[in-house]
Amino acid sequence: QLQLQESGPGLVKPSETLSLTCSVSGGSISSSISYWGWIRQSPGRGLEWIGNIHYSGRTYYNPSLRSRVTLSVDTSKNQFSLNLNSVTAADTAVYYCVRGVVPAAYSFHHWGQGTLVIVSS
């Protein structure tokens, strides 16, 4: 059974870069039908999609975050990563890594357990 696990710092200083990694187990990140992504949820608020990436490198980003976000894939480690730069307190949230399946890769069939990232000095 496919499982996703987020890892990374739980505390990031304002103006710095938030970096998270998602480890994929029970399946290959090089699956042609899979898109790998990130979704965040601020405390007490709803869901916000950050972006998706295919193992080929094709990416889709939330237009409101595009200028600050970079997604990448490491097929040798079966992992994918999120970098969000110039963070502020508004980026404090639980970050989930997810898997979508084509053709509707915006339906997220698998979710990690989530990791809380706090932006504070």
Partner 1 sequence: QSVLTQPPSVSAAPGQKVTISCSGSNSNIGNNFVSWYQQLPGTAPKLLIYDNDKRPSGIPDRFSGSKSGTSATLGITGLQTGDEADYYCGTWDSGLNVVFGGGTKLTVL
Chain residues binding partner 1 by CB under 8 A are: 46-49, 52, 60, 62-64, 96, 104, 106-114
Cβ of residue 4: shortest distance to partner 1, in angstroms? 9
Instruction: Please report how close the Cβ of residue 109 comes to partner 1 at its closest, in angstroms.
Output: 5
Question: Cα angle vertex 76, ends 75, 77, to 5°?
Answer: 90
| CB closer to partner 1, 16 vs 41 | 41
Residues 112, 81, 3: CA angle, nearest 5 degrees:
25
Euclidean distance between CA atoms 99 and 80, whole angstroms: 11
Nearer to partner 1, 80 or 96 (CB): 96
In terms of C-beta density within 10 A (0-12 exposed, 13-18 middle, 19 or more buried), how is residue 38 classed?
buried
Taking the complex as a whole, the smallest distance from the CB of residue 46 to partner 1 amounts, in Å, to 5
Q: Which is nearer to partner 1, 2 or 118 (CB)?
A: 2
Tell me whether residue 91 is exposed, middle or buried, using C-beta atoms within 10 angstroms of its C-beta: 0 to 12, 13 to 18, 19 or more.
buried
Q: Which is nearer to partner 1, 36 or 108 (CB)?
A: 108
Distances (CA, A) of 66 to 84, 109, 120: 9, 24, 22
Q: How far is the CB of 110 from partner 1 (least distance, A)?
A: 8
